[in-house]
Amino acid sequence: MNGWKDKLLIGLGEWVRLNLLLLLCMVAMRPLFFLEVYFRLGLEWRQLLTVMYGSLFDLLLVSRIFTFGLVPFLLVHFFFPKTAKGIFKGLIVVYAVVVALLAEYYCDLTMPLDHVVLVYSVEELKTTVFASSSSISWAQVLWFLLYVVLAILLLLKRRPAGAKSPQPRATPWEMRSEELGVRSILVAGLFVVLLFIPYKRIIREEKIFSNRSDFCLAVNQPSYSYIKITDYWRDEGSRRDEEEFLLSPSQLADYQAGHPKFEYDLPGYPLYRKANDPDVLSPFFNSTSDGLPPNLVFIIVESMGRRLTGVTRPQLSFTPFIDSLAANGLFWTNCFSTSERTFGVLPSVFASAPHGRYGFAAKLPMPKHHSLMLDLERNGYTTSFFYGGGSEFDHYDHFMEINHVNDIVIPERLVADSGQYHLLADNYRWGLDDDQLFDCAIRYKTDKPDHRPHADIYLTLSSHEPFLVDSIEHYEELVKAMVEQVPDLDKKERDNVLRNLNIYATFLYVDQSVRHLVDYYASQPDFSNTVFIITGDHRMGPVPTGISMRSYNVPLVLWSPLVKRPKTMGAVVSHLDITPSLNAWLNAQYDYAIDDHCHWLGTSFDTVSEYRNTRKLSFMRNNRDVDDYYSGKFAVNKNTLIMMDSCVVGYGIDNPVRLQQYQEELENFEAVSRFVVQHDLLMP
């Protein structure tokens, strides 16, 4: 063959070779990805098979690249063969860089990057990136370089040893032109056939594996990120072009029928119901000494999950002081946050509110709503909010302002010596260390004494990536000593703790900071009339959790000198139940008025000792998707149905009928949630 036909055939062969080389790079990077996750997060060696099984994703991706890139490559190669090959090899190196960055993201959040980058504002993304960048280690840089070096080594051409001329022998990678025809056509035919496998649908539905964590471990990370981001971009664009979101009568009827305990009696307001939640807390508390409602102190601890170590049977506690309060108070082991990140905690805890499309507090103005703070204000409380980070993040300050909180104490707002505070702008950390925030609060309260009754809200910050506080080395040594004091410690737990030493050291620091704050309240004359409510805003991100429900499992502790009967409860409750439960108790036992109607999603706490779930809970991920649902003994995670034996033990089951039932329940809830938030129909 001569002329242009020969050129095209050579170009086809070159395109086959380059795509096979790309596939080789993808597959070769998988063991490297496994090792990075293994050493940084902890995996079982059997999961290497899961990672390598994901090479099927790589093959399907390469088939698309081959098919849709064939014509452009042949055109460039026909005139500039070296340029065409150079560009593609350069793109392989770029691919390696992207894989390395996405592997870093996975190790930070134990999930692939998706459209979360489009959810946050530019300023919020800058804050997140700068805060995270302060913790970059040499080990992370080394992992990054390994991906890039591996790709470059695979791209290098090697000459046979001793050869005096660059004449290569015929190999699968360097094929003579007369051999190109059959081989190239066969490989091209295989790639074209693979186009009939619905790759994007597989990515979107996440059905190949029995659980989402295995899917996230095996999936081709760049294509997952691309599909999720472009889908979100397209869907959000079409939504903006559509009319406002409407709720069908059948969806509303099905949702309300699924909550028979609630009495909905105002048409047009789907969540507005009678406030008839029973008082379940009185049997556990003595009355205050002065007859006034008790002081309330809320301590919402950043990233405090129920099981900090990420294993089923932890033998160590890195929150011993908080544990001591739990042992002497009311402790719910199976409490759930409603979101994967902090954006959901304040509306859930204090307004028992739905998510809407992007999170209740995502856009301003927020929907008109009622809250615990407004009830406290009406009943004579003074209220305060203390937070050590940027006030604009997730609109914490706006939420407190519209709920009439008297004192919003955020050090960035105060006139103070900036050198006294480790603020974000100074050292790329999120804000104040917790003990500095608590000291600031104590000084503020000392200068402006509270009257009875009062409610204080603390949102901590230190136990957040990058897990960096002053004297972190001291707490790391304490953690090491704790590990050594348990000689029969499970090896998996020991490795997990030592691998994430800074994380557990930070929680030990936070626990001691909370002790310092409680000691301050103990020194006050009205301490005997004070109730502490302690919970986590969400589960810690960097340590793998296993089943999806464990990702939202946080502790809930009510502790007070007024507690007369401590109890640990295994029944499922959520942040949504805190406001209804406190309001019902205060209304029943004190001169404390509440409205006869409310929009609370939650209800009174379940105080049964054994594990059971009488709730219907939906959960919003960091990317604002709502794919997780928990009802009775079953949980839905995307397209997987999970039978829950407890809140930390579950297994996937194959029951399409029940899966569809719960998916429809979740769809109905989401329709109601979006409708009331978008149209401001929580309350009249």
Q: Is residue 625 part of a domain?
A: no
Distance CA 556, CA 325 (A): 11
For 434-453, the pLDDT digits (tens) are 998 999 999 999 988 888 99
DSSP letter at 164? Answer: S
For 296-353, the pLDDT digits (tens) are 999 999 999 887 876 666 788 899 999 999 999 999 999 999 998 889 999 999 999 9
- What residues make up the domain containing 353? 278-612
Q: Are residues 54 and 186 in the same domain?
A: yes
Q: Is residue 402 part of a domain?
A: yes
CATH code at 567? 3.40.720.10
Q: Is residue 270 part of a domain?
A: no
Question: Is the pLDDT confidence value at 170 over 50?
Answer: no
**Could you tell me the pLDDT band of residue 166, with boundaries at 50, 70 and 90?**
very low
**Could you tell me the pLDDT band of residue 161, with boundaries at 50, 70 and 90?**
very low
Q: Are residues 465 and 561 in the same domain?
A: yes
Measured on CA atoms in the order 93, 98, 101, 104, is the torsion positive or negative?
negative
Q: Are residues 296 and 233 in the same domain?
A: no
Q: Are residues 150 and 296 in the same domain?
A: no
625: left (phi over 0), alpha (psi -120 to 50) or beta: beta
Domain endpoint, select from 593, 612, 631: 612
**Cβ atoms within 10 A of the Cβ of 361, count?**
22
- The phi, psi pair for 13, rounded to 5°, reads -60, -40
Q: Are residues 210 and 310 in the same domain?
A: no
For 579-595, the pLDDT digits (tens) are 999 999 999 999 999 99
**Could you tell me the pLDDT band of residue 12, with boundaries at 50, 70 and 90?**
confident
What pLDDT is attached to residue 588? Answer: 97
Say if strands 567-569 and 330-336 run parallel, antiparallel, or are unpaired.
parallel
Helical residues (DSSP H) of 379-431, grouped into ranges: 396-402, 424-427
For 662-676, the pLDDT digits (tens) are 999 999 999 999 999
Q: Is residue 461 part of a domain?
A: yes
Residue with tokens 């050579």: 10
Q: Are residues 536 and 601 in the same domain?
A: yes
Question: Is the pLDDT confidence value at 374 over 80?
Answer: yes
Q: Is residue 641 part of a domain?
A: no
Domain endpoint, select from 237, 261, 292: 237
Q: Are residues 422 and 531 in the same domain?
A: yes
Question: Is the pLDDT confidence value at 51 over 70?
Answer: yes
What pLDDT is attached to residue 658? Answer: 92
- Assigned token pair, 654: 């194959």
Domain endpoint, select from 612, 641, 662: 612
What pLDDT is attached to residue 269? Answer: 95
Q: Is residue 255 part of a domain?
A: no
Q: Nearest Cα to 12, choosing from 81, 60, 61?
A: 81
Question: Is the pLDDT confidence value at 616 over 70?
Answer: yes
Helical residues (DSSP H) of 242-370, grouped into ranges: 249-257, 320-327, 345-351
Share of the chain above pLDDT 70, in %: 86
List C-alpha distances in Å: 266 to 245, 252, 368, 595, 678.
20, 13, 16, 15, 18
Q: In the β-sheet with 650-653, what is the strand arrangement from edge to edge?
A: 616-619, 628-631, 634-637, 640-644, 650-653
Q: What is the mean pLDDT of residues 256-280?
A: 95
Least confident of 83-87, 281-285, 309-313: 309-313
Q: What is the mean pLDDT of residues 265-271?
A: 93
What pLDDT is attached to residue 375? Answer: 98
Question: Is the pLDDT confidence value at 69 over 70?
Answer: yes
Question: Is the pLDDT confidence value at 267 over 80?
Answer: yes
pLDDT, greater one: 74 or 596: 596
**Could you tell me the pLDDT band of residue 364, with boundaries at 50, 70 and 90?**
confident
Helix orientation angle between 501-522 and 491-499, rounded to the nearest 10 degrees: 80
Distance, C-alpha 68 to centroid of its chain: 35
459 beta partners = 300, 387
- Assigned token pair, 623: 């990317």
Q: Are residues 598 and 525 in the same domain?
A: yes
Q: Are residues 102 and 193 in the same domain?
A: yes
What pLDDT is attached to residue 630? Answer: 94
Q: What is the mean pLDDT of residues 454-465?
A: 92
pLDDT, greater one: 289 or 139: 289
Q: How many domains does the chain have?
A: 2
Q: Is residue 676 part of a domain?
A: no
Average predicted confidence (pLDDT) for the chain: 86
For 564-584, the pLDDT digits (tens) are 999 999 999 999 999 999 999
Question: Is the pLDDT confidence value at 518 over 70?
Answer: yes
Q: What is the mean pLDDT of residues 187-197?
A: 83
- The phi, psi pair for 641, rounded to 5°, reads -100, 130
pLDDT, greater one: 86 or 241: 86
Question: Is the pLDDT confidence value at 162 over 70?
Answer: no
Q: Are residues 198 and 290 in the same domain?
A: no
For 460-471, the pLDDT digits (tens) are 999 887 788 888
Q: Are residues 385 and 511 in the same domain?
A: yes
Query: Which residues, other chains included, contact 2 with Cβ-Cβ below 8 Å and sequence gap of 6+?
Result: none
Per the CB < 8 A criterion, the answer to whether 626 and 670 are in contact is yes
List C-alpha distances in Å: 217 to 47, 53, 497, 627.
9, 10, 21, 18
pTM for the complete prediction?
A: 0.86
Distance CA 108, CA 386 (A): 27
What pLDDT is attached to residue 117? Answer: 78
**Could you tell me the pLDDT band of residue 495, with boundaries at 50, 70 and 90?**
confident
- The phi, psi pair for 113, rounded to 5°, reads -70, 135
Q: Are residues 186 and 285 in the same domain?
A: no
Q: Is residue 114 part of a domain?
A: yes
Helical residues (DSSP H) of 382-500, grouped into ranges: 396-402, 424-427, 434-447, 472-484, 491-499
